Each structure stands twice: as structure tokens, then as C-alpha cells.
Amino acid sequence: MTKQLEDLNLQKMQIGHELGTKNEFKNAETNRDTLKEEIEDFRTSFKKEKKEGMININEKEREKIFAIRKLKQEMDFKIKEMQANMKAMNEEQM
């Protein structure tokens, strides 16, 4: 009877250990799934921010190009204006 009781207690402990291991495994699976979702969210956020960054860079480049064109046009106008003024001057004024 004592032997049977010891065997039953041993079985009980083994079952308890197995149950604990199964619960740990289930918790690990849940944590893994949560981490996978978080990683996917980070990837999505990263791609979105990268795309927005590229759009901002393109906008800045476009603004730079327009500013350079405007400056070139202004300089061309000033040069032509100066040339016209120089032609209008007579030799004494030069």
C-alpha cells in the first residue's frame, strides 16, 4: 500500500511537471506569435517611414532645382540688363 502510494505520488509529480512544461510551451508559443506580430508592425512602419523619407528627399531636390533655375534666370536677366546699360553708355562714361 505504501509502495502504491509512493508510485501514485511519483506519477502525480511527473504529470504535474509535464503539465507545467506544456503550459510553458503554450506561453512560449503565445509570446512567439506576439513577437511575430510586433516585428511585422515594425517592418510595416519602417517601410512607410522609408517611403515618406524618400518623398521628402524628392521634394527637397525638386525645390533645389527650381531655386537654381530661378537664380540662373535672374542672373541672365541681370547680365542682359548690364550689357544694355553698357551699350547705352558712351565712351566718356566708361
Looking at residue 24, its amino acid is E
Report d(CA 38, CA 44) in Å as an integer.
10
At 41-74, the pLDDT tens digits run 999 999 999 999 999 999 999 999 999 999 999 9
SS3 94: coil
DSSP state of 67: H
Any idea which residue has 537664380 for its cell? 71
Residue 84: pLDDT band (50, 70, 90) is confident
pTM across the whole model: 0.53
Q: Which three cell numbers stand for residue 86?
A: 553698357
Residue type (1 letter), 38: E
Report d(CA 30, CA 22) in Å as an integer: 12
